[in-house]
Every structure is written in C-alpha cells, then in structure tokens.
Chain A
Amino acid sequence: MRIVVTAKYVPDINTERGFSEGRVVRTAGEGTLNELDENAIEAALRLVEAEREAGRLGAGEGEVVVVTMAGPDGDVALRKAFQLGVDRGIRVSDDALAGSDYFGTAAVLAAAVRKLGEQAPVDLVVTGMAALDGLGSVVPTLLGAELGLPTLNLAKKVELADGVLTITREIDDVTESLTAPLPAVLSVTDGANQPRFPGFKLIMAARSKEIEVWSPADLGFDPAVAGAAGARTETLSAAPRPARPEVELVTDKGEGGVALADFLIRNDLV
C-alpha cells in the first residue's frame, strides 16, 4: 500500500491574510500546513496501518508520501506532515510555477504522482477537501482527471476491501455511496477523522528529516503549462473590504430580545 497525499502551504487562518500584486501574501512564519490536509494524512496513515494490522503488509512495508507545490517556505507544511508520521516529503518548486490556477496546480501535482509511480506503483492519492486560502475544492477532481484515475470526493467514511475503495459522502443535502477500484484519487472531509497529535519522537525526527526538492524538469514537466503564464484566469484587482461600522451592543437586562427585534424592524430586515 503506497499512498501519495497532496498538501498545501497556506496562510494561517488565525492571522491577518491579504494580497500583494494579485497574489496571496505568504509571509514566512505565518504560513502553515493547510489544516484540512491533516485529515488527508490521517486517512492515509490509517489505511496503511490497517493493512499492517491485517498482516497484508510487513512492519517496514507501506508508505505515505506527501507532495506539495510551494517555495522554500512551504517546508513548514512538510515538517508538520513529518510530525504526523508520513514517510517522505517532496516539494515541487520553481519560480515559474507561481500564480498557477487550479489546472496548473493539478497538472504539477499529477506530474509528481506519475514520477512517484515510476519509482514504485502508487495505489492511492489522498487530498483534503479544500485549501483554506482558496476554498475551491476542485483540485482533487482535476488531479483525478489529469491522472485518468477514478475519483471519489468529499468522503466522510472510507472503506477499503480487496483493492476496492468505498466511500460515503454527505453533500448538499444528498447522501451518496460510491465505489471504485484502486488506483484512485480520494478526497476526505474534516468530518472523516480526527487527525492525531504529533508524538514527541516524531516531532524531534521531523526537524532533520530530508525534504526532497523537485523541479519541473525533474518531472519532465513544461513549466509554461502552469504558473501565471499557463493560467486561464488573470487577477485584475484585490482590495480589502471596508471595515464594518461600529457594532451596536446591547447587554440583556430583560429587554435584549425586544432590542434585537427592534434593530431588525427599524432597518427593514424583517
């Protein structure tokens, strides 16, 4: 069982986020592993662990590889992934990849998965449900399309038996159960599992663990397909919203509900 997890280095949602020249500002020290990718890592680790427990894998067998497309600051995300227990971390980097749209991102990640597949077969690609900066949720779908693999998205429950993946998902008031044979692409929601806390030994080991850096050339990939040059959208403007007016605050001393109703009615909101 060999699993690739794609991960993204994103601005921490607890910090002030913004744009500069049409690109997301990624300040070193304020970026982090996309929280939703922790669910993907957890799902991958559990699948490998389950195979080991069932005796289908030996103690040293099975691998979880994390791939990210980022500049050197993105190593923070890979270190975090190491802390959770993944075996390998790869960063695909090139200045020409900056400004990639959804398709460029998916094409780069797909090229990395194919390269890993040349080293040894990849059984499964797992992703989080979205990146918390862009919130598009479409890269998993596009990754599946690029790789020509069946894609099961937004799983809340994941089962693997005899090389067949079955998921249950609850989206938009619809509950669906879908199944596909491996190899496949799987995205999991934040309801799929509770990511583990890093252990002390893994935290220590993560500091010095090797991060492999691949260039588009290493992947046999034409960087012009991705990056700003290959993007099918062009950012024209990005501006912070004006601050909201001062809050009107009422402390309830028995009339708080009436005050709330009054606010809605006098502003013609009812």
Chain B
Amino acid sequence: MTNRTVLVLLDPATEVRTSTLELLTIARALGRVEAVALEAPTVEVLAQLGAYGVETVHQAEPARAGSCVSGDELHLPAVVAAALAAAVRLTDADVVLLPTSFAAKEAAALAAHDLGAGLVIDASAVRDVDGRVVAGKRVFAGSWDTECAVTSDVAVVTVRANSAVAQPAPAAVEPVTEGYAVEVAASPVTLLSRTVKADTSGRPPLDQAAVVVAGGRGTDGDFGPVEDLADALGAAVGASRDAAFEGWWDSYVGQTGVTVAPRVYIGAGISGAPHHRGGMQASQVIVAVNSDPEAPIFEICDFAVVGQLADVLPQAAAEIRKRKG
C-alpha cells in the first residue's frame, strides 16, 4: 500500500452503480479512496460508499462568473472536468478513476489536459507496480493485452465495467461530505436540452450487465425471443449496429456503440462483423446462435448453435426457467 490518494468520480450522486463499486474496489488497492460528487449524495449512497471504504466525499460547488452552476449543466463534461481538476489540486491526489462512458471520457480528457496528467482510456485493470500506476488494456477487439505506466505525477484513468469484482472494504467507515468551491471557465457552449432515457425494463444497464443477450439482422426486427432469453437470465439486451440503425433496438454493442465485457455474451442473429466484435470480444464467455454455419462470430465463440433464433432462444429460456425454478 502506498500513501496515494485516489479520487473516484460519482456522477450521478443519487445512486451507486455497479461500475462505481468496481472503481472503488480497484481504487482501494492503489491508495486512500475519496469520492468526488457534483450534487449531494443520498443517505443510502453514503452508506454504500462507507462500506467500500470512502472516508471523504468532496462535493463540488461549481460557479461560473459568480453564479452557481446547477441542474443539467452539472453533468456537462466541462463542469465535471473542472470539479475533478479542482479536487485533485485540493487533495493533492495522485490518481483519478472514472467509468468508461462517452461523457466520462470527455471529462477525463479535459481534466487531464488541465492538470498535465497522463490519460488512459478504457483500462481493464489498474495496479501499482513499484510505485508506478500501471493500467492494462485489452485492444484490437480483445485480441491483444497491453500495459502502460503513467509517467506524469497525476494519472487519470477511465476503467471499463466488469474489470473487477466489487468487494466491500474489510471495515466500513462513516463518510464525511465536504463542500469545495470550483471555478468553471466561461464557455461559448450552451446546453439547450438534456433528456435521460427512462428505463422501465427492469433490466441491468447494457454497459454494466454481467450477462448480455444481443440481437442482430437475423431477428428480422422481432426482439421478442432476445428479450425472453435475457429475462430468463436477468441479462441486459443489446443489438448489432445494423439492427439499431434499422430502428429495431436503441442501444448497440460495437466499437462505436457500447463496449461490453460481461461474464456471458450471447449473440443471436449476429454475423460478427469486425465492428461488432470490437465491442464484445473481451467478453469472458461468448455464445452465438445463427442460422448461417459460416457466420464469422462462430470463430470467436465458446458455444454455438446453428439454428433459427426464433426456435432456439425461447426453448433455452424455458429450459433455464424450468431448471433454475
């Protein structure tokens, strides 16, 4: 253990996502863990942070030219970045950890630029090696493992979901929330509107789920069998880019969509084009169902069924429900 201070971004502060718990677990192995929030954490959130060993939550109080930044603007990458950079200066922190969402990557880049910090995007591991921060990455559609050391004083790292198993601290602590002032530079960028997609499916978020079932062109637009199997497994549902561009499903797995690395990935009616493989090939176990025995996805999977997904998926769902009670 070193005497490093590690800051973990908590955005939003109204819930603790699984990916945040993973970040906190990774952070504890690097040093003393503190959280940065842009709004007041709820009592439940504080209890969870305490269970994961967070002693201090730094709550940013951002202001631009003397007036308070609030509401939707608090989630703007420039505001988040200003809060992170100010928190690093306040605490003399050595490492900042964020999830690997597009918004977090933008905030990470701006904060690192401001701090002169080294930046690693989409790490799958972060560890201490002889006092240096070393990040592991899985690249080229999961086909290569790389490691790099951050050579600057401060490291800013975004970590992909499912990179660690979330583990509470050996002993829980009582986190203290401390406010701190953040000066946000005037910006010519104006936020006109921001809408968070309401998720009523009851399924885990695609980027964080332990099990993902994805449908492609082979569904012909009917995601019923995909959803059925996903629900039998408690899985998230995704699509291929083609299927999403057809309007059959909202979010897609791929190198320009959501990158997933779940315990189990099941692709149905997805051929496995390089674009798609770039977003899922780091999954631990890959299962494919496709009517085409020549589908490229069969080259990278552990288990495959050549058949019609409309037959195979509902049968698998029923069997799982039967055998798991």
User: Which A residues are within 8 Å of any B CB, using their own CB?
Assistant: 13-14, 17-19, 36, 101-103, 129-130, 132-138, 141-142, 145-146, 150-154, 166, 171-181, 184, 189-191, 231-241, 244-245, 247-252, 254-265, 267, 269-270
The minimal Cβ–Cβ distance linking B319 to chain A, given in whole angstroms, is 4
Once A176-B191, A233-B150, A252-B312 are accepted as A-B contacts, the answer to whether A267 and B285 lie under 8 Å apart by CB is: yes
Q: Complex formed: what's the CA distance from A179 to B139 in Å?
A: 34
Show 5 A/B contacts (Cβ-Cβ < 8 Å), sorted by A: A137-B106, A138-B106, A179-B192, A250-B304, A265-B320
B189 touches A150 (CB 8 A): yes
Counting chain A CB atoms within 10 Å of each CB, the highest count among B193, B205, B255, B317 belongs to B255
Residues of B near A153 (CB, < 8 A) are 77, 102, 106
Q: Binary interface profile of B, 274-318, with partner A (CB < 8 Å = 1, else 0)?
A: 110010000001110100010000111111111110011111111
Counting chain A CB atoms within 10 Å of each CB, the highest count among B102, B140, B191, B207 belongs to B140
Q: Complex formed: what's the CA distance from A175 to B141 in Å?
A: 27
The minimal Cβ–Cβ distance linking A212 to chain B, given in whole angstroms, is 28
- Of the listed stretches B28-36, B114-122, B175-183, chain A binds B114-122
Q: Please name 8 further chain A to chain B contacts, defined as beta carbons within 8 Å, in addition to the given A175-B197, A235-B148, A255-B315, sorted by A numbering.
A: A18-B144, A102-B121, A136-B122, A153-B102, A173-B205, A189-B256, A252-B305, A263-B303
Once A173-B251, A238-B146, A251-B306 are accepted as A-B contacts, the answer to whether A260 and B122 lie under 8 Å apart by CB is: no
B101 touches A171 (CB 8 A): yes
A135 touches B278 (CB 8 A): yes
Q: Binary interface profile of B, 115-146, with partner A (CB < 8 Å = 1, else 0)?
A: 01111111000000000001100111111111
A141 touches B109 (CB 8 A): yes
B195 touches A175 (CB 8 A): yes
B109 touches A102 (CB 8 A): yes
Residues of A near B187 (CB, < 8 A) are 150
Q: Complex formed: what's the CA distance from A16 to B196 in Å?
A: 39
Q: Is B194 on the interface with A (CB-CB < 8 A)? A: yes
Once A233-B148, A235-B147, A245-B302 are accepted as A-B contacts, the answer to whether A145 and B119 lie under 8 Å apart by CB is: no
**Interface Cβ pair total, 8 Å cutoff:** 252
Nearest opposing residue in chain B for A144, CB measure:
B110
The minimal Cβ–Cβ distance linking A239 to chain B, given in whole angstroms, is 5
B285 touches A256 (CB 8 A): no
Once A174-B196, A265-B323 are accepted as A-B contacts, the answer to whether A138 and B121 lie under 8 Å apart by CB is: yes
Residues of A near B149 (CB, < 8 A) are 233-234, 236
The minimal Cβ–Cβ distance linking B296 to chain A, given in whole angstroms, is 10
Residues of B near A172 (CB, < 8 A) are 101-103, 207
Q: Complex formed: what's the CA distance from A153 to B207 in Å?
A: 20
Counting chain B CB atoms within 10 Å of each CB, the highest count among A141, A153, A250, A267 belongs to A141
Nearest opposing residue in chain B for A182, CB measure:
B188
Q: Complex formed: what's the CA distance from A18 to B299 in Å?
A: 19
Nearest opposing residue in chain A for B187, CB measure:
A150
B146 touches A235 (CB 8 A): yes
Q: Complex formed: what's the CA distance from A233 to B216 in Å?
A: 38
Q: Is B49 on the interface with A (CB-CB < 8 A)? A: no
Q: Binary interface profile of B, 147-191, with partner A (CB < 8 Å = 1, else 0)?
A: 111111000000000000000000000000000000000011111
Q: Is B45 on the interface with A (CB-CB < 8 A)? A: no
Which of A14, A103, A190 makes the CB contact (< 8 A) with B113? A103
In the A-B complex, the 7 residue pairs with the smallest Cβ-Cβ separation, listed nearest first, are A257-B315, A252-B307, A232-B118, A261-B319, A138-B109, A257-B316, A177-B192
A130 touches B255 (CB 8 A): yes
A181 touches B316 (CB 8 A): no
Nearest opposing residue in chain A for B314, CB measure:
A257
A236 touches B147 (CB 8 A): yes
Nearest opposing residue in chain B for A173, CB measure:
B197
Q: Complex formed: what's the CA distance from A36 to B282 in Å?
A: 22
Once A256-B315, A269-B264 are accepted as A-B contacts, the answer to whether A174 and B119 lie under 8 Å apart by CB is: no
